[in-house]
Structure 1
């Protein structure tokens, strides 16, 4: 069974690296392979769904969402933006500190999702390049997340796994001092070294719009045209020439709420997004009278151009616009898509969307609000904070403080305090049950449940003992600081190509076995895994917040290597001394 386990884990690592499927799909696939192969029983395989770490994380999603819904952070936005507009140094410091502080207590991806539009607003009004601010915001959020037990899902996972293995779980602030030391080092790097290394690169928003405009044309539908009295979805414009209809002017009146069922009429003036090859073919057909190339929208239309981003956890990720029936569902048109460095304006309906993608969206305010309310997209081109509600903010903040104190003072476990806190959020009507359900990032829950099966399989088949024995044979006679340093190095290098949760699930049982073999305390080794999984800066895929800032900051892959690699190695060396200082062997 051990060889089968290793084989399945290798397949999993390959799929994680190649990114053939979404990360949650890969995690569930690995879990299923363990069950099918007989390595784990169905009960053991699915145990990840009722694992304390998974349940705690789900409850914390609800509490975090309630904080954001109250407008608490947005209530501070005017002050944050006011300070940031002073100069670049002020902007860098206020955004980094804000990201670090809030990420210590609430979902770091949600914190970064709110700060990105704020930062872009400051950049537009001050002339600061977005690339000078967004990576520091992401990295600072990672530092903040290490400071408390609820700061990241990885912390919760490692602590819960330790408890299941018969060890003492970590307290709410047990490792905060060690994390703060590393955070100070990281923030000093952000303030003094990163500005030298960060590129000065403008936003892609204008380039996206310019590229899209190259493909815009306006035609008038003649009475003899076969598309007259035909629905958009069945028209030749769409089926044969692959055109995307953006607007229809009918007798000096704009037709709103266009979808696939909208019927075309004679003399309609139709604005389309079409590639040059098909436009050339269209010119040859007299019944399509080409009026000329036009701007994307007219001043009098209610639809506007918005730059939006697919956030972490969006259900749009992993699907294309065609299978989502996006146009009919949301009455909005995607004009262009930017994935990493690639900008696509031709046949965008077949592009598989990914988290962190930038989209140029033609939509009404109503349609955009529907998309953002469902957390399908984040608006980048216009910052509009949630309305601050003191009536909601005070009880929500008190519940969060209660959850933290109850766990910190050992009145109860973090699982119980988070569970009670999320129930209070719903029962006091701060959020409806539907809103609470939608607040949970189910993709992360499924990923967590899936990756937990890897650690369970390693432990059950004795793989963790064999690996730890091998490490012990080679490093057991050395100073424990060297051993913990090697563990930290292996973990953060793994996390830069795997997900942080997958790396934590694999490394946790191994380091518990290793500490037992060396007859040392498990805590410094577990802290090393915890920190190494969160403090990963070398690639845009190493952590969700790094992915989120990639496109809005107009970064290149090498930017992360250039800025993140020195930081990762500084943190590695510092952690090798700081962790044993606070957690003796």
Structure 2
């Protein structure tokens, strides 16, 4: 009975992952709760994902990565990279792909891509290169680089920790580096040769075009004497209730007012800058008490107090999964959203109701200090007005030494990556490189909760015998095949599943299955576990298959077919190459 319940709950989870009714972390916790409530897992087993080595290690590595970024070490290279990239398109493609791959081997890939996107957009603005010809290579290179070390991706850590929990030897820091570098080399060669031919040369939608689109929905009105909104709060005014307008700024007696919230009162003769749809603007024009004033000296784009910024919602942002209305965005962050670009759709109407997603681009009307607040809390990444931070050498050198120590201690088997990561995180706080608050903020809690949730799926499969049942089913049809062919098919099934599910959910499901399958075949589990690691990370076919692909979708003005066009051949090449490379370095 428990086995059937487990399979039903997993099917429910897969359905929710595909339909995206909830955010991935919410779906993961819901699955974990269903296992506990149904009795498949007791509470201790259900919540064990929170103290699982993979979850704890990932949290520590978030802190170590944050310290490297905070000190400006990576950004310190930006001037040289940007200078090299400006020579020609091939130089830009090579520079950004290589930097993305090398950085992602040791630092969280989503953080690397979030840093490189504004750098690449700066190069594109100054050289005329289309962002579509650089951003997919940055994402793909980050995925390839993440396969080179144990800490390259959270999936590597998850699979290694799962193997250790199952009584197997955990993977070493560089144990699969040779295989990973081989695949990385093949992938980079493909990107450099095929990229110029397959990547779209689409017009840049950033800055002027997106701003121009938003400005179609901007208007300036004057509140006349007989207006019913006179002396009313913004939140209860007809302007916002009936015409669904967003008040951006008020000019009252030649004084500009920007810190506007729902409790701000409207006064007679106020000149008001609003965001409103053309249809509702035409209705407003015909309403008594409002005067359209296109000649007011209050240009929003030229304001010194506030400016227009392009920002992106990065992976792990707390804004994702919420609407502006639910977040009370205007009142909390003192910023107005002028437009939202979600994948290939630009939204300028009813913005408060739109559910924000990771990878969305927002056009914000905000003060510099408010943008700084949003970026420091890792809620957004600024795409426009990129400026690299100077390296803080007093903190950068000890931070680098601590990070090297974390990697070296694990690589030399002095201790586990969990212990070295924990000690490294504590040293970063003790030496004041990071404040305790900054360390807490560095951890992407959505990812932690998602990891804890999906681990319950593997635990339930293992406890109820589901992994053995599935592996026996696979063995029945593949048991007579050469182990290399079986491994190749497992790789294929895994990367296809990751294009539908999240990489971590797929890894949690496949790890116990391949361990049982290897036992049934009478061969080593290691090549199959490496195949799961690599297949979960090396997914290029869709923008939803991996967070970094989602992040570059809107800034690159991509279409879904762009990923299929360049990603499908790469996935096939990597799949075929891995089928020979993995058994070579990890014999059966």
TM-score by length of 2: 0.98
Q: Does 1:243 align with 2:245?
A: yes
CA contact (8 A) 1:492 1:536 kept: yes
- How many angstroms does 1:290 deviate by? 1.3
CA distance in 1, matches of 2:513, 2:486: 13
Q: Tell me the residue number matched to 2:265.
A: 263
State which drifts further: 196-205 or 416-425.
196-205
Alignment of 1:277-296 (within 5 A): 277-292=279-294
Q: Tell me the residue number matched to 2:458.
A: 455
- How many angstroms does 1:223 deviate by? 2.5
CA contact (8 A) 1:213 1:296 kept: no
Alignment of 1:19-38 (within 5 A): 19-38=20-39
Q: Secondary structure at the match of 1:182?
A: helix
Q: Does 1:85 align with 2:78?
A: no
CA distance in 2, matches of 1:116, 1:574: 29
CA distance in 2, matches of 1:254, 1:224: 23
- How many angstroms does 1:224 deviate by? 2.6
CA contact (8 A) 1:524 1:579 kept: yes
Alignment of 1:129-208 (within 5 A): 129-205=130-206, 206-208=208-210
Q: Tell me the residue number matched to 1:230.
A: 232
Q: Tell me the residue number matched to 1:6.
A: 7
Q: Secondary structure at the match of 1:382?
A: coil
Alignment of 1:236-385 (within 5 A): 236-292=238-294, 297-385=300-388
CA distance in 1, matches of 2:32, 2:389: 39
CA distance in 1, matches of 2:267, 2:27: 48
Q: Provide the alpha-carbon RMSD of the alignment.
A: 1.2
CA contact (8 A) 2:429 2:439 kept: yes
Structure 2, unmatched stretches of 5+, are none
- How many angstroms does 1:357 deviate by? 0.5
State which drifts further: 377-386 or 419-428.
377-386
Q: Tell me the residue number matched to 1:584.
A: 587
Q: Write out the 4+ residue segments of structure 1 that deviate beyond 4 Å after TM superposition.
A: 293-296
Q: Secondary structure at the match of 1:512?
A: helix
Q: Tell me the residue number matched to 1:524.
A: 527
CA distance in 1, matches of 2:204, 2:181: 33
State which drifts further: 530-539 or 341-350.
341-350
- How many angstroms does 1:96 deviate by? 0.4
CA distance in 2, matches of 1:110, 1:136: 16
CA distance in 1, matches of 2:24, 2:389: 30
Q: Tell me the residue number matched to 1:515.
A: 518
- How many angstroms does 1:296 deviate by? 6.0
- How many angstroms does 1:398 deviate by? 0.4
Q: Does 1:481 align with 2:484?
A: yes
- How many angstroms does 1:244 deviate by? 0.7
CA distance in 2, matches of 1:464, 1:298: 59
Residue-by-residue CA offset, 1:216-269 (whole Å, 9 max, x unaligned):
111111133222222212221111211111111112221132222222221111
Q: Tell me the residue number matched to 1:471.
A: 474
Residue-by-residue CA offset, 1:95-135 (whole Å, 9 max, x unaligned):
00000001000111000000000000000000000000000
Q: 1:453 to 1:87 in 2, by over 3 A?
A: same
CA contact (8 A) 1:69 1:386 kept: no
Q: 1:171 to 1:451 in 2, by over 3 A?
A: same
CA contact (8 A) 1:399 1:421 kept: yes
Q: Does 1:18 align with 2:19?
A: yes
> Alignment partner for residue 417 of structure 1, among 410, 420, 445?
420
State which drifts further: 360-369 or 136-145.
360-369
Q: Secondary structure at the match of 2:355?
A: coil
CA distance in 1, matches of 2:251, 2:400: 50
Q: 1:296 to 1:451 in 2, by over 3 A?
A: farther
- How many angstroms does 1:419 deviate by? 0.6
TM-score by length of 1: 0.98
Q: Tell me the residue number matched to 1:497.
A: 500
State which drifts further: 282-291 or 492-501.
282-291
Q: Tell me the residue number matched to 1:439.
A: 442
Q: Tell me the residue number matched to 1:101.
A: 102
Structure 1, unmatched stretches of 5+, are none
Q: Secondary structure at the match of 1:292?
A: coil
CA distance in 1, matches of 2:9, 2:389: 45
Residue-by-residue CA offset, 1:264-316 (whole Å, 9 max, x unaligned):
22111111111122212221233211113889615244211111111111101
Q: Tell me the residue number matched to 1:55.
A: 56
